[in-house]
Chains A and B, each alone.
Chain A
Amino acid sequence: MSQTNTPSSNTIAAHDQVLHFPKGSKPSLAPNVWLIWSGSQDEGGLPDLEHGPANITKVLVPFSWWVQHHNESDIAAKAKEGKIGVWFAADEDILKHEQLIEVGKTVWPVVAAHFPIFRDGRSFSTAALLRDRFQWQGEIRAIGDVLIDQLLQGARVGFDSFALRPDQNTDVALKQFDLFSVTTQNSWRGLRTTRASLSA
């Protein structure tokens, strides 16, 4: 499988297909159009999307970079076209930026939360807060060290798309979501079975 989203020093590697699992629908794969910019080499502005791979047309920028640059006119213009989303680092305290996120909700098509390593669960709480506290209705994408065996947990806390690490097998990934037909605690996707069964 070719990788359009080539890992390089200023992007975060991901599978060239994104796994979408919208609430209420079935999981499916679709080509990825979002470049995940690490922001580590800020060469005076956003990465050049025009001269990269044709299918990559939009960019996820680090939220911390957005905090610095969102008022600049070219950034604002690009954002207006729906070409900019943000990603939250695992250690980003999103509750400290309530106002900026409230405004951002009106312009970002997608937000993402990053897993620096698969066993770092902070972004699970970030996604839960985005859904519960900020009432974010749009897409939340899991990015970074996203492995097959985290998908189920991610789907339940509020992620509805997954940019898997490039080496992950998408066929196995697609099968993860129907492993469990029951739950014993609430999640973004619904009331726990143990409670729902009682009120029925």
Chain B
Amino acid sequence: MYKYDHIDQTLVDQRVAQFRDQVARRLDGTLAEEEFRPLRLQNGLYHQRHAYMLRVAIPYGLFNSKQLRTMALISEKYDRGYGHFTTRQNIQYNWVTLEDTPDILAELATVEMHAIQTSGNCIRNITSDAFAGVAGDEYVDPRPICELLRQWSTLHPEFAHLPRKFKFAINGAKEDRTILLCHDVGIELKKNAQGELLADIYAGGGMGRTPILGSLIKTGLPWQLLPSYLTALLRVYNRFGRRDNLYKARIKILVKALSPEEFARQVEGEWLHIKEGDDNFTQAEWDRVAKHFTKPAYKDLPALTTDQVIAGASQADQAAFARWLGRNVKPHQVPGYASVILSLKPHGSVAPGDATTAQMYAIADLSDQYSFGELRATHEQNLVLADVEQAKLYELWQEAKKQKVALPNVGLLTDIIACPGGDFCSLANAKSLPIAKAIQERFDDLDYLFDLGDISLNISGCINSCGHHHVGNIGVLGVDKDGEEWYQITLGGEQGNDAAIGKVIGPSFYADEIPDVITNIINTYVQDRKDDESFIQAYRRLGVTPFKEAAYKNAKKKEKAAQVSGEDAS
């Protein structure tokens, strides 16, 4: 894992001092709230419904046990005993005070962490594959590029006040686990026949009010040229992105307005002038960074079959353990190892992605014991121990069960992505968390969930789409109508290589109808599926109609529910 050198450390230390001074000026009144706002946002500090919320960066989702202990400490000392892992691989604290924030940041800086650019209209924390460096289907380990670009984007002066926030995702594997196409810029890494590392650039994707999948605007860019090319791209966006209308300020609107071809042409035009310069990365920079992403000290182990692994468990545990292996354990590049997903989605949980202080301490210990002290956060809001010996999976499973992070629901209907919604977020139109909980309680039968197989269900409390509802096979969106909370259903969304934006099926529902609506949709799938078709495959074959009819079958209050249109438009 990357280790700060004195430059990185100096930068975060000095950043803490800068923010401490800004907070002091805010507190003594010389800095007005309106002018402080973008400054605190560039440090991940939001003002929410009840309190300040601090979003701490976990660059490309990778962290270690020492850092997790500090995250735990912060949740204990400055918050209310938990932290929330987000869809952008960060962690949020919901109950911090403005006064404490500089101290929290100072505490984070001692373990090479910060909150720089986790919010605000600047280049946000870069996300990547949670299985980077270990995934069986990886072409290129994206982490050195992630780290080089983290440095390049950190406190970038020219792009400190963009029209809107700007999100990068980077992928180097066959299967896209980053929702590359839903980012302002998606970088797909490849190697050519000569073994040279190249990047394809997608621009203009995003969810929110106008969900759009990114367009390919550049292929085969040598990795060294990324900074100059991205400077050109951001410069075009900074100069010509709309600033008159918040909802039209994202790069996706610019790319759409110009057409991807014209946008690409303008970027190319700008790039011509700077592509030869010092902005570009050097081999020396690569070497300095890449040496941190070498493989850990793997043992020479025999590869075990699943049956062999299961045979290691006690008779009584075998069925449950096998289930967990099937859902929460992923293949690894190195024989004898596997990657484990710890589910932060226990049924009936307070919020998907929450971890308590005690859980964080315990998971830190597990990572030391079983996975070289490293962890990853996934955009589905779970945690990963990437390098576990197959022979120790049973032991780990037993430990994980004690911490209530061993539910084998990864990729299943109850592995819900949900934003904090109306319980915490001041932008929400409706609550998300009680909906997630009600669905988990309705579908609490693991046998049934297993039979249903892969289905993603994502919930957002408003059109901003923090809960990624657009790319859920089933999406639930909170909408407001005459001061009441309603929920709109989308179907057919998908993340991954076949990424798709879901379609609204019709008028919205009341909160208490949602479990039935989901049940009806699921029942339709169960009735009509062929062989081992997944939900999304069945949906694509059958089309929306049967699902829609089922959803409204006994919508008792349907007549009251007007179509909430226009929410998704513009």
- Give Cα A149–Cα B36 distance, bound, in whole angstroms: 9
Q: B22 in the interface, Cβ–Cβ < 8 Å?
A: yes
Could you give, for residues 256-293 of chain B, a 1 whenever the CB lies within 8 Å of some chain A CB and a 0 otherwise?
00000000000000000110011100101100100000
Question: Which residues of chain A are near B15, meaning CB under 8 Å?
Answer: 180
Question: Which residues of chain A are near B279, meaning CB under 8 Å?
Answer: 185-186
Q: B447 in the interface, Cβ–Cβ < 8 Å?
A: no
Question: Which residues of chain B are near A186, meaning CB under 8 Å?
Answer: 277-279
Q: B451 in the interface, Cβ–Cβ < 8 Å?
A: no
For A185, give its contact among B10, B22, B35, B227 (CB under 8 Å): B227
Q: B426 in the interface, Cβ–Cβ < 8 Å?
A: no
Question: Which residues of chain A are near B282, meaning CB under 8 Å?
Answer: 195, 198-199
A132→B157 contact, CB < 8 A: no
Question: Which residues of chain A are near B14, meaning CB under 8 Å?
Answer: 179-182
Q: A83 in the interface, Cβ–Cβ < 8 Å?
A: no
- Give Cα A39–Cα B277 distance, bound, in whole angstroms: 38
For B278, give its contact among A121, A182, A195 (CB under 8 Å): A195
B7→A198 contact, CB < 8 A: no
Q: Interface-forming stretch among A24-32, A42-50, A68-76, A151-159?
A: A151-159
B161→A121 contact, CB < 8 A: yes
Chain A residue nearest to B227 in the complex (CB): A185
Tell me the smallest distance from the CB of B144 to a CB of chain A, in Å: 13
B285→A133 contact, CB < 8 A: no
A184→B278 contact, CB < 8 A: no
- Give Cα A122–Cα B22 distance, bound, in whole angstroms: 23
For B285, give its contact among A119, A150, A152, A195 (CB under 8 Å): A195
A132→B274 contact, CB < 8 A: yes
Tell me the smallest distance from the CB of A189 to a CB of chain B, in Å: 10
8 Å CB interface, B1-25 against A: 7-8, 10-11, 14-15, 17-18, 22, 25
Question: Which residues of chain B are near A179, meaning CB under 8 Å?
Answer: 14, 17-18
Chain B residue nearest to A145 in the complex (CB): B35
Which of A124, A198, A199 has the most B CB atoms < 10 Å from its CB? A124
Tell me the smallest distance from the CB of B146 to a CB of chain A, in Å: 14
8 Å CB interface, B222-252 against A: 227, 235, 238-239, 243
Could you give, for residues 452-495 of chain B, a 1 whenever the CB lies within 8 Å of some chain A CB and a 0 otherwise?
00000000000000000000000000000000000000000000
Tell me the smallest distance from the CB of A97 to a CB of chain B, in Å: 14
B161→A198 contact, CB < 8 A: no
B121→A119 contact, CB < 8 A: yes
- Give Cα A154–Cα B151 distance, bound, in whole angstroms: 19
- Give Cα A186–Cα B277 distance, bound, in whole angstroms: 10
Question: Which residues of chain A are near B356, meaning CB under 8 Å?
Answer: none
B158→A198 contact, CB < 8 A: no
Question: Which residues of chain B are near A124, meaning CB under 8 Å?
Answer: 157-161, 238
Q: A197 in the interface, Cβ–Cβ < 8 Å?
A: yes
A121-B18 CB under 8 A given contacts A191-B278, A193-B7, A194-B151: no
8 Å CB interface, A157-173 against B: 157, 169, 172
Question: Which residues of chain A are near B314, meaning CB under 8 Å?
Answer: none
A121→B274 contact, CB < 8 A: no
B158→A128 contact, CB < 8 A: yes
Question: Which residues of chain B are near A129, meaning CB under 8 Å?
Answer: 235
B7→A121 contact, CB < 8 A: no
Q: A120 in the interface, Cβ–Cβ < 8 Å?
A: yes
Counting contact residues on chain B (CB < 8 A from A), the size range is 35 or more
Tell me the smallest distance from the CB of A177 to a CB of chain B, in Å: 12
B11→A180 contact, CB < 8 A: yes
Q: A125 in the interface, Cβ–Cβ < 8 Å?
A: yes
Could you give, for residues 111-127 of chain A, a 1 whenever the CB lies within 8 Å of some chain B CB and a 0 otherwise?
00000001111101110
B273→A132 contact, CB < 8 A: yes
Question: Which residues of chain B are near A185, meaning CB under 8 Å?
Answer: 151-154, 156-157, 227, 279
- Give Cα A24–Cα B158 distance, bound, in whole angstroms: 20
Chain A residue nearest to B38 in the complex (CB): A119
Question: Which residues of chain A are near B235, meaning CB under 8 Å?
Answer: 125, 128-129
Q: B39 in the interface, Cβ–Cβ < 8 Å?
A: yes
Question: Which residues of chain B are near A156, meaning CB under 8 Å?
Answer: 157-158
- Give Cα A198–Cα B148 distance, bound, in whole angstroms: 14
Q: A147 in the interface, Cβ–Cβ < 8 Å?
A: yes
- Give Cα A154–Cα B158 distance, bound, in whole angstroms: 8
Q: B30 in the interface, Cβ–Cβ < 8 Å?
A: yes
Q: B544 in the interface, Cβ–Cβ < 8 Å?
A: no
Chain A residue nearest to B274 in the complex (CB): A132
Question: Which residues of chain B are near A55, meaning CB under 8 Å?
Answer: none
Chain A residue nearest to B243 in the complex (CB): A120
- Give Cα A181–Cα B12 distance, bound, in whole angstroms: 11
Q: A9 in the interface, Cβ–Cβ < 8 Å?
A: no
- Give Cα A150–Cα B277 distance, bound, in whole angstroms: 26
Question: Which residues of chain B are near A132, meaning CB under 8 Å?
Answer: 273-274
Question: Which residues of chain B are near A93, meaning CB under 8 Å?
Answer: 239
Q: A137 in the interface, Cβ–Cβ < 8 Å?
A: no
8 Å CB interface, B87-142 against A: 121
Tell me the smallest distance from the CB of B270 to a CB of chain A, in Å: 9
Q: B162 in the interface, Cβ–Cβ < 8 Å?
A: yes
Question: Which residues of chain A are near B309, meaning CB under 8 Å?
Answer: none
- Give Cα A128–Cα B231 distance, bound, in whole angstroms: 11
Q: B303 in the interface, Cβ–Cβ < 8 Å?
A: no
A157→B158 contact, CB < 8 A: yes
Chain B residue nearest to A187 in the complex (CB): B157
Chain A residue nearest to B153 in the complex (CB): A185
Q: B446 in the interface, Cβ–Cβ < 8 Å?
A: no
Q: B51 in the interface, Cβ–Cβ < 8 Å?
A: no
Besides the contacts A118-B38, A193-B7, what 10 more A-B pairs have beta carbons closer than 8 Å?
Answer: A121-B162, A124-B157, A153-B157, A153-B160, A156-B157, A182-B10, A184-B11, A186-B278, A195-B285, A199-B282
Contacts A/B (CB < 8 Å), 10 sampled: A119-B38, A120-B161, A121-B160, A128-B235, A172-B30, A185-B279, A187-B157, A195-B284, A198-B282, A199-B284
Q: Which 10 A-B pairs have the closest CB atoms?
A: A121-B161, A156-B157, A153-B157, A184-B151, A198-B284, A124-B158, A182-B7, A153-B160, A125-B238, A182-B10
